[in-house]
Amino acid sequence: MSDETAHDILLSARGLVRDFGPFRAVDGVDLDVRSGTIHSVIGPNGAGKTTLFRLLTGILRPTAGSLEFAGEQLAGRPTHVVARRGIVQAFQTTSIFPRLTAHESVCAALVSKHRRSRDLITWFHRGLAGEASQVLETVGLSDVADEQARALSHGDQRALEVALALAMSPRLLLLDEPTAGMSPFESHKMVQLVQRLAKEEQLTVILSEHDMDTVFGISDRVSVMHQGRVLADGPAPEVRRNADVMAIYLGSEA
């Protein structure tokens, strides 16, 4: 990767604000996310991370502020437009189609991307089937492609959620606590998957995560939120040494 590419800013938020009635959950957030990097947003419970993600994906409209993505202003645009531009969040969606197999689930996501009905003509279906298999291979689920989503292990269900997001061909993938509830082995696999997506698929990733070993093991850059604001922001090793950050975590984490 050239120096120039490494420093391309893919997403740039300025002064993002989100109020819920009189309460300001996100309070003037500036965020620059560089292309091809893994950027973590951390902070104690209630810091505003999930609300920030909802602003980035268009689920929530900002009360104020701007959001530029790949040179286009996206603040306030609806979520399907934001997704089509390339910002996609992996959600816990496997419960929606518990009886579909992993492969059928990804096919369904691809159908929705291609905006076709489920009654597909055969050639198109074959194309989708191949594409779905590739996506499952990318996330390491080829072996369980024909298992029902509800029968997969927790770790594999979370990998399937990533697969469903990848089916939308994102440029920027958002992951909210991707290792939550996982065993150490499953967490390790998820971390490897995220790293592979960034390196081999040239994806940019924003993730929110409570496990600090995961955060500092995986991230290029880290933004620390506290009470709706970004308190610290920079390369991961720098943020780790930041005394204010340490104080927040020592003060808030049990």
The site for ligand ATP (CB under 6 A) is made up of 20, 23, 25, 43, 45-51
Write down the least CB distance from residue 164 to ligand ATP, Å: 21
Whether 39 and 205 have beta carbons less than 8 Å apart is answered as yes
Rg of the chain over CA atoms, in angstroms? 18
Report how far residue 115's alpha carbon sits from residue 182's, in angstroms, rounded to the nearest whole number.
Answer: 34
Whether 168 and 88 have beta carbons less than 8 Å apart is answered as yes
Residue 44, classified by CB atoms within 10 Å of its CB into exposed (0-12), middle (13-18) or buried (19+), is middle
Helix ranges, 90-183 (H): 102-114, 122-138, 154-166
Report how far residue 114's alpha carbon sits from residue 102's, in angstroms, rounded to the nearest whole number.
Answer: 19
- Residue 113: both structure tokens together: 């991307």
